[in-house]
Structure 1
């Protein structure tokens, strides 16, 4: 059996093939987050809500939907190597890991979501850093012109977010965490409206 190091099908064929696995992973992410939110309705006496945690859930839902939207530009990659394929899967999988951390399988050992989130914030924000680093690589895969089209604000935005995540890993200040997640949501919305409200 002959093995090729790259796929040379039409762009549309490759894109359809690749987006199937991405869709599966992102579907699991959304399922995890929505199921977690449903727990608050199912067991209101046992699931103690934490506003910062809920805000990060909202951010992740928005970011996952945004990810699926802007990955449309993967069709610009004309030659797919297995390494690129693995990279895209790795990038999508980071969203799943973050979603799983927001809603663990069991909460018995924690007094509520504030206790849980703060105890696992190093893991969560480490993954968020990886997501933003992976996003830079993903953008470059789509071409230098695509990367440059975002302007100087794009790398600055990533650097600021990564720095904020590092601070969030070190501090338990509720004021900082509230401000950080609020600005993260606003930034994500602005980024979507400015750069990805339409595709073409």
Structure 2
């Protein structure tokens, strides 16, 4: 086992737990459908988070040829899957046996934390790239991350449900386009 394989195990566990939570939450929503009103914003963010977890894991493959691993660089890198893991838990309420599940109230109650943690992902990604290369990249990838970061900061402060739905739809479309343009093949 080389260094990359060894370190990728922890990353894979964190991402796997986040995906497991999203998938089990989706299945639980189906089971409890009679006790809840669907909330399109939550469903869009669940889809985005599922894709984000996979994308973080997918891009981690680019590190396979690196021999330069330090504890603090790895810790910085781990902040991305950890943040997405935490947001993957915040997107859904505890789906116990309540009489009524309010997805909209859960989203609104967690909105500031949700977007603060989600904003860490592109921020950490940019900081990590700057730390590794000594400069901020000026490319399509960096532009997307900066736009996504700005949108998370704006969305954290806006309570309007219509805005949040439009933002989630825009983010889903933008994230799918981002992956389609930049990450369809392993590099």
TM range (shorter): 0.7 to 0.9
Quick one: which of 44, 61, 79 aligns to 1:72? 61
Contact 1:73 1:142 in 2 (8 A): no
Gaps in structure 2 of 5+ consecutive residues: none
Contact 1:32 1:103 in 2 (8 A): no
Q: TM-score, normalised by structure 2?
A: 0.88
- Matched position secondary structure for 2:169: helix
Larger Rg: 1
CA offsets 1:119-166 (integer angstroms, 9 cap, x no match): 110010001111110121344466469x74xx4333332232222222
Contact 2:28 2:95 in 1 (8 A): no
Give the whole-Å Cα distance in 1 for the aligned partners of 2:111 and 2:102: 14
Give the whole-Å Cα distance in 1 for the aligned partners of 2:51 and 2:6: 24
Quick one: which of 10, 13, 17 aligns to 1:24? 13
Q: How many residues are paired up? A: 186
Q: TM-score, normalised by structure 1?
A: 0.82
Gaps in structure 1 of 5+ consecutive residues: 1-11
CA offsets 1:154-183 (integer angstroms, 9 cap, x no match): 333223222222221222223321221112
Deviation, 1:81, is: 1.1
Contact 1:48 1:112 in 2 (8 A): yes
